[in-house]
Amino acid sequence: MRPAYIALVFWVLAACAVFGIVKSWRTGVATGPFMYRRAEEPISFMMVMFGRVFVIGLAVAETLYALGLAGDPIAAFHSYMPFLPSPRRGA
């Protein structure tokens, strides 16, 4: 797959995450498998927001990797957390 297509896919993913963050922050409700209200469950609400920000960061890192401007972020995660299974290449 061409790097431009990989970058496009990850930017779409990041755009969806940004939309989710803005919508949840304005309404004060984060939805997913469960519904977290900012006033009632602030820690759970912020963990959902952190997860969405993580998705944006991963999308940016993967985009930079696809364009050849940075190293492989998945390989970096694996080196930081060796208990994770190795990514299979060429499968």
Among the listed residues 38, 40, 58, 62, the one whose alpha carbon sits nearest the alpha carbon of residue 48: 38
pLDDT of residue 90: 56
What's the gap between Cα 40 and its chain centre? Answer: 25
pLDDT in tens, the chain (91 residues): 787 888 888 889 889 889 989 999 999 998 878 899 999 999 999 999 998 899 899 888 988 888 888 888 888 888 888 887 776 665 4
Partnered with residue 29 across adjacent β-strands are: 37
Rg (CA), the chain: 16
pTM assigned to the model: 0.75
Question: Cβ distance 39 to 28 under 8 Å?
Answer: yes
